[in-house]
Amino acid sequence: MAQLPPQDEDSFPAQETHRIVAGQEDAPEWMVSASRVSGAAERRGASTRPEKARAPQAEKAGAADAAGVKRAPRTAKKQTPKRARSASGEKKAKPAKRTARKPLSKKAAARRRSRVRKGVAAVLGVMLLCVLVTVGVMGVSRLVDIKQTLDRGDGVFYANIFVNNIPLEGKTLDEAAAVVSQQVESQIRSFSITLRTTDGSGRSWNITGEDLKMQYDVADQLDQLWAIGHTGSSAARYEQVKALEEEPVMRYTTLTYDLSSVNQILSQIKQEVDKAPVSAIRVDDDTKWPPFSYTDDVPGQELDITGLNEHICGMVDRLESGTVDLSPTVVQAPVTREYLESQIVQLSSYETAIGATSDPGRFINIENGTRKFDKLIIKSGESVSFNKVAGRRTYANGYADAPELAYGDYRTGVGGGICQVSSTLYNAVVNAGLEVTTRYQHSLASNYVPLGLDATVQDDRLDFVFKNTTNADIYISTEYYKKKGYWHTKFTIHGRPDPNGYSYKLESEVVEEIPIPEPTYIPDTDAEYVVYDDEMEQTSSGEKGYVVDVYLVTTDASGLVVSREKKYTDTYKARQPKIYVGVTPRETPEPVLEESID
């Protein structure tokens, strides 16, 4: 039964209308249903509908509805006297009391349920039909898509498939094999690796695909790629082709080659490139001092073919042609010239100046004694005696007469001034770090070296002796030269450097001065200075005496003092002034007598 469209509750008439399901006259009241709303809705409306909706509609009580069904009039309920009038005094009509509906009969209820089931079944049938139609349309669409997708690879490769970066889309298996084979064969023919040295020799070697016996396998990769979209069920093939749209498949042909020829080539190159280093040599040379010349060391080189082999293999795997620079590793000579030269270095040098007013014989003696030590080689562990090297101070040995200090005073003797040579050598020896075994001080202070730094010598009595403790040869050279108007004697010592890099020197410190004593008067019996006893001549003003502490100061390579060790104390006597007095009395002249004049 068709339902009326819903309408607003305010549009409904106040008088309820009922539709008679069976005969109206004898139908029970519970079989009468509302034409617009259900009984539950009516009951809800009775409690929520506005007063105007529940107003009596007597004028429409007996009217028929649009379907021709007669409407039963409602029975109005009598109003109580208390509610007969409104607030204005007028009487107000009270809605009629609703009549309770009677339940349907079993047959009527069964018929209603049957109609409901049929309606639901009809709706479900329509829905099922719609679903079937939709599914059918979708299934047909997917089948069409699968067919169209797979048809694109009918006898050819699908899109997004590559071999050696060559797209195979639209190519048959034979066409793809021909294209890829042509590419690989061209790459093999053009493949070449040039090996060249960077040592300036300009040598180079080539390695070709023919040298490596290159072969390739195109069919294996193509067969694997052809299987994509061409093997399996339609659904599986379809999924494989769709996957290509998301991520392309790229493969590379497999090359095989023989690296034994590469190893042979590299071994040959190594033999040509490798070069053994040449050590420097110390050569005897009397024209130099120390008496040696040195040859230059020559570095060698060595090629590492292990790493080179790996690099070439990588290029071959990628069919990458190019040039490889061969950079041999430099191999230093075991013995370099720098090392040899560092084994004989200057250990010390010391020089003193000769007074310009010295006796001529003194210049001769100092020069002669200095040259006696020039080009002297002292073996390791050997001791040197100054007197032995300088020789006896005789005319035959080239010495001359000159003032010399002996027995606390200056006297003329052969070899006077030789002590300046021994004192100069003494300081050079100490500064070189050599061991001094014998040394004597002068009785009086000398003026050519600081106090405490002198070494006096005398034939057969006083000697200066030192020892080579460096475990290597010592080389002494000397010079006698004039500079700024003064003659100088100079000693230079070469040898093995100090193992600690230390330097040495002597420092003296005066701890006491001895005053000049009273003069001594010397009778000049030889009339050397004065003749008569009333004459005097002072030949010496005298000298102070000194007490001196001498220290050996050791410094490191940076000049920092490592130690300051006291070695000895020297005492120099004070010297009296000398005054010579004549010994000859003067004769008294006889008086002259005057003659008288008569």
Query: Do residues 576 and 542 make contact, with C-beta atoms less than 8 angstroms apart?
Result: yes
CA 215 – CA 473 distance, rounded (Å): 70
Enter the tokens of residue 63.
Answer: 């009217």
Select from 163, 160, 141, 140 the least CA-distant residue to 152.
160
User: Is residue 112 one of the residues assigned to a domain?
Assistant: no
User: Is residue 171 one of the residues assigned to a domain?
Assistant: yes
Share of the chain above pLDDT 70, in %: 79
Residues 367 and 294 in one domain: no
Which tens digits make up the pLDDT trace of 486-536?
A: 999 999 999 999 999 999 999 999 999 999 999 999 999 999 999 999 999
Mean pLDDT of 132-152: 78
CA 397 – CA 414 distance, rounded (Å): 10
What pLDDT does 110 receive? 81
Residue 72 dihedral angles phi and psi, to the nearest 5° = -80, 135
User: Is residue 256 one of the residues assigned to a domain?
Assistant: yes
- Cβ neighbours around 325 below 10 Å, total: 10
**Cα-based angle 388, 380, 389 (whole degrees, multiple of 5):** 10
What pLDDT does 327 receive? 87
User: Is residue 328 one of the residues assigned to a domain?
Assistant: yes
Residue 342 exposed, middle or buried by CB count within 10 Å (0-12, 13-18, 19+): exposed
Residue appearing with tokens 């009039």: 73
Side chain identity at residue 392, one-letter code: R
CA 242 to chain centre: 50
Which has more confidence, 453 or 212? 453
79: which residues sit within 8 A by CB, 6+ positions away? 93, 94
* Last residue within a domain, chosen from 497, 518, 544: 497
Which tens digits make up the pLDDT trace of 91-105?
A: 445 555 555 566 767
Q: What is the DSSP string of 160-186?
A: SEEETTEE-BT--HHHHHHHHHHHHHH
Residues 467 and 561 in one domain: no
CA 57 – CA 15 distance, rounded (Å): 5
Helix/strand/coil (H/E/C) assignment for every residue in 298-334: ECEEECCHHHHHHHHHHHHHCCCCEEEEECCEEECCC
Task: Give the CATH number of the domain where residue 532 resides.
Answer: 2.20.230
Residue 245 dihedral angles phi and psi, to the nearest 5° = -65, -30
Residues 476 and 557 in one domain: no
CA 104 – CA 108 distance, rounded (Å): 6
Region of residue 484 (phi > 0: left; psi between -120 and 50: alpha; otherwise: beta): left
Residue 57 — very low, low, confident or very high, per pLDDT cuts 50/70/90? very low
User: Is residue 491 one of the residues assigned to a domain?
Assistant: yes
Which tens digits make up the pLDDT trace of 330-357?
A: 999 999 999 999 999 999 999 999 999 8
User: Is residue 137 one of the residues assigned to a domain?
Assistant: no
Residues 270 and 349 in one domain: no
- pLDDT of 151 above 60: yes
Enter the tokens of residue 26.
Answer: 């004898």
Residues 210 and 319 in one domain: yes
CA 218 – CA 176 distance, rounded (Å): 9
Q: For the chain, how far is it from start to end, CA to CA, in angstroms?
A: 224
DSSP, collapsed to helix, strand or coil, labels residue 169 as strand
Residues 179 and 280 in one domain: yes
Q: Is the peptide bond before 5 cis (omega within 30 degrees of 0)?
A: no
User: Is residue 143 one of the residues assigned to a domain?
Assistant: no
Q: Which domain holds residue 54?
A: 1-104
Which tens digits make up the pLDDT trace of 267-303?
A: 888 998 899 999 999 999 999 999 999 999 999 999 8
Mean pLDDT of 379-392: 97
- pLDDT of 211 above 90: no
Residues 516 and 491 in one domain: no
CA 482 to chain centre: 58
CA 250 – CA 161 distance, rounded (Å): 6
Query: Do residues 475 and 290 make contact, with C-beta atoms less than 8 angstroms apart?
Result: yes
CA 142 to chain centre: 62
Residues 327 and 426 in one domain: no
What pLDDT does 594 receive? 60
Number of domains comprising the chain: 4
User: Is residue 489 one of the residues assigned to a domain?
Assistant: yes
Residues 166 and 47 in one domain: no
What pLDDT does 102 receive? 63
Out of 57-61, 166-170, 222-226, 523-527, least confident range = 57-61
Helix/strand/coil (H/E/C) assignment for every residue in 467-530: ECCCCCCEEEEEEEEEECCEEEEEEEEEECCCCCCCEEEEEEEEEEEECCCCCEEEEECCCCCC
* Last residue within a domain, chosen from 442, 469, 497: 497
* Last residue within a domain, chosen from 464, 480, 497: 497
Select from 466, 469, 465, 467 the least CA-distant residue to 499.
469
Mean pLDDT of all residues belonging to the chain: 82
Residue 90 — very low, low, confident or very high, per pLDDT cuts 50/70/90? very low
Query: Do residues 386 and 422 make contact, with C-beta atoms less than 8 angstroms apart?
Result: yes
Residues 243 and 347 in one domain: no
Mean pLDDT of 443-467: 94
Cα–Cα separations (whole angstroms), residue 85 to 63, 74, 90, 157, 484: 29, 22, 5, 99, 158
Enter the tokens of residue 125.
Answer: 């049938």
Q: How many helices (H) and strands (E) does the chain have?
A: 11, 29
Residue 18 — very low, low, confident or very high, per pLDDT cuts 50/70/90? very low
Side chain identity at residue 294, one-letter code: Y
Residues 451 and 383 in one domain: yes
Q: What is the DSSP string of 421-470?
A: HHHHHHHHHHHTTPEEEE----SS--SSS-TT-----BTTTB--EEE--S
Residues 460 and 517 in one domain: no
- pLDDT of 6 above 80: no
Alpha-carbon radius of gyration of the chain: 69
Q: What is the DSSP string of 81-135?
A: GGGSB-TTS-B-PPPPPPPPPPPPPHHHHHHHHHHHHHHHHHHHHHHHHHHHHHH
